Amino acid sequence: MTTQPGQPIALDPAQIYSALPNRGTMPTIDLVAELPADAEVDTLIVPVFQGANGLELAATGSGLLSKEQEITLWRVLTSVGATGKREELTPVPGELLATEGSAPATKILALGLGDIDDSTDEDIRELAGVASRAAGLGSKVVSSLGLISPEAALVGHALGGYRFAGFKGASAKNAASQDAAGQDAAGQDDAAASDSPVTITVLAREADAALLAQAQVDAAAVALARDFVNTPANFLYPETYANTIREIAEAVGLGVEILDEKELEQKGYGGIVGVGKGSEHAPRLVRLTHEPSADNEAPQVALVGKGVTFDTGGISLKPGANMWDMISDMGGSAAVVATMVAAARLDLPMKVIATIPLAENTPSSTATRPGDVLRHYNGLTTEVLNTDAEGRLILADAMARACEDEPDYLIETATLTGAQMVALGNRTPGVMGSIAFRDKVAELSQEIGENGWAMPLPPELGEALKSDVADLRNISASRWGGMSVAGHYLANFVTEGVEWVHIDIAGPAYNTEGAFGYTPKRGTGVPVRTILATLRHLAGTTKGG
């Protein structure tokens, strides 16, 4: 796959897939060393910071503004009380900087960086995200944040500019007609017209095509994961989800295999069948394979992601308040699919196989009951004492299957426990597993700003999963350490010798509060960039080395 610098990415964010009747939109981003003289600029983003003596302009001398214009801008900003503090946005009419009747932009948006000496790449990503969100729909934005860090500015601007209008107004009609009658070609045009994205040109010292392509592919992957999560469960259920994954995966050249409920039953996937059997929407297991185009020495990696398209709790029913947030319970699977799409598009030099279990957890007369015993793909049995601890049941089968491929590394992620949020809050993924690999993944996650944190698997918490009648029970008898208890449960399904990491994203996958930095409301796309960073790291190592 090749991505032409400056061209919109091939996996068009406006493309409508059967289970995603309304996708979000993302800015079109470009990276240039010099702005064409006749460029139309609606909004010019100018970083400013808090210097020792008050507001100062950052990234000056870019050629975007003349010395005189910079002085005028500084005067205007200080006269209206701008200080350059972090996230301060001060709009200034471009007219005020006009020379010989021509203004550098319709609007200048001064963006406060705070203390510039302390600012990290993550600060730049966040501030670029804030600026993207402040830019009006359909506007042409030029940003000089790339002069500070091109990679951070590209990623932050792209991620922060994501918008999910979802099912409002005209788009709602499309969604309704799609629900009844499938793909609606006329609807596609409406959706695109009502929500035209921002165009963001990032100015940098040099225009690095590889950097731009990587940022575009990564951002598209994050947007895809967000779209999946943002799509409600009446559109996205195992069958439609699997079909949509097939469409997207085949378009980028991934190998695709889908097992339906009958095949799952025949092949002994008792965990996936047991969780899915209460719903009219039968479960699926999706397998995606990325084969690199050239031979290499890199390790083979398995990815697994929890895909509970809606989690009511099942017979152990959840309370009604906030149950709507459970549309995000397929966030792990969404991140894994999106990562696979990026792996294919970037032709990452390693073999990666994803195993993605999809099920809807709902009560009915055919649902699994508390006390039922399920037999997993590897023969281990689980006594189900709480049907709301369902994620581990489907992951157990998927991880056992993934290990059959004899991967060197297994990266698994899931919206697994409320206990993750109790322990770490809703922005910090809990990272558990093989010690050295766990620590590496947490470190990479912190570098790219998803902030995963290493958590232990204390041995006594594993003891609490012993059952009288089966190999395991699916909940512990104690209320403490629920995140690590779940991690212990999963450890039983990892084959000896496979380096393994489990990333609990119960909180971080879904933002139920206001937008911040480059993170919108609802689906966040976490931990797509953590997994991509890990794959890139592993691609640079050798098998067994």
Shortest CA distance to 392 belongs to which of 254, 261, 383? 383
Q: Which of 125, 163, 287, 392 is catalytic?
A: 392
Our finding on whether 329 is near Zn ion (CB under 5 A) is: yes
Our finding on whether 391 is near Zn ion (CB under 5 A) is: yes
Instruction: Mark whether 392 is an active-site residue.
Output: yes
Look up residue 223 and give its two tokens. 């947007």
Look up residue 310 and give its two tokens. 């809606």
In whole angstroms, how far apart are CA 419 and each of 304, 455, 480, 488? 21, 12, 9, 14
249 binds, among ligand BES, Zn ion, Mn ion, none (CB under 5 to 8 A by kind): none
Smallest distance, ligand BES to C-beta of residue 305, A: 13
Q: Which of 318, 427, 521, 536 is catalytic?
A: 318
Our finding on whether 311 is near Zn ion (CB under 5 A) is: yes
Q: Where do contacts with ligand BES occur on this chain (CB under 6 A)?
A: 311, 329, 386, 388-391, 415-419, 475, 482, 506
CA-to-CA distance for 477 and 467, rounded, in angstroms? 10
419 binds, among Mn ion, Zn ion, ligand BES, none (CB under 5 to 8 A by kind): ligand BES
Q: Is 87 exposed, middle or buried (0-12, 13-18, 19+ CB in 10 A)?
A: middle
- Residue number with CB closer to ligand BES (13 or 508): 508
- Neighbouring-strand partners of residue 49: 56
Q: Is 209 helix (H, G, I), strand (E, B) or coil?
A: helix
107 is in an annotated binding site: no
390 is in an annotated binding site: yes
Smallest distance, ligand BES to C-beta of residue 518, A: 21
Q: Amino acid identity of 459?
A: P
Look up residue 459 and give its two tokens. 């041995």
Handedness of CA 92, 94, 95, 100 (dihedral sign): positive
- Residue number with CB closer to ligand BES (192 or 464): 464
Binding mask 281-310 for Zn ion (x = CB under 5 A): ---------------------------x--
329 is in an annotated binding site: yes
CA-to-CA distance for 328 and 13, rounded, in angstroms? 20
- Neighbouring-strand partners of residue 57: 48
Please pick, from the candidates 56, 311, 383, 504, the single residue that binds Mn ion as defined by CB under 5 A. Answer: 311
Our finding on whether 261 is near Zn ion (CB under 5 A) is: no
CA-to-CA distance for 395 and 305, rounded, in angstroms? 7
- Residue number with CB closer to Mn ion (277 or 345): 277
Binding mask 84-123 for Zn ion (x = CB under 5 A): ----------------------------------------
Three-state secondary structure of 94-123: HHHHCECCECCCCEEEEEECCCHHHCCHHH
Q: Is 197 helix (H, G, I), strand (E, B) or coil?
A: coil
- Residue number with CB closer to ligand BES (390 or 408): 390
Instruction: Mark whether 287 is an active-site residue.
Output: no
388 is in an annotated binding site: yes
Peptide bond into 150 cis (omega under 30): no
- Residue number with CB closer to ligand BES (267 or 318): 318
Binding mask 382-411 for Mn ion (x = CB under 5 A): ------x-x---------------------
**Number of residues located near Zn ion, criterion CB under 5 A:** 4
CB atoms inside a 10 Å sphere around CB 266 = 9
In whole angstroms, how far apart are CA 367 and each of 244, 274, 280, 360, 454? 26, 7, 10, 11, 35
Our finding on whether 452 is near Zn ion (CB under 5 A) is: no
Q: Is 243 helix (H, G, I), strand (E, B) or coil?
A: helix
Q: Amino acid identity of 25?
A: T
- Residue number with CB closer to ligand BES (59 or 389): 389
Q: Which residues are part of a known binding site for Mn(2+)? A: 306, 311, 329, 388, 390
Catalytic annotation, residues? 318, 392
Q: Which residues are part of a known binding site? A: 306, 311, 329, 388, 390
* Residues engaged in binding Mn ion (CB under 5 A): 311, 388, 390
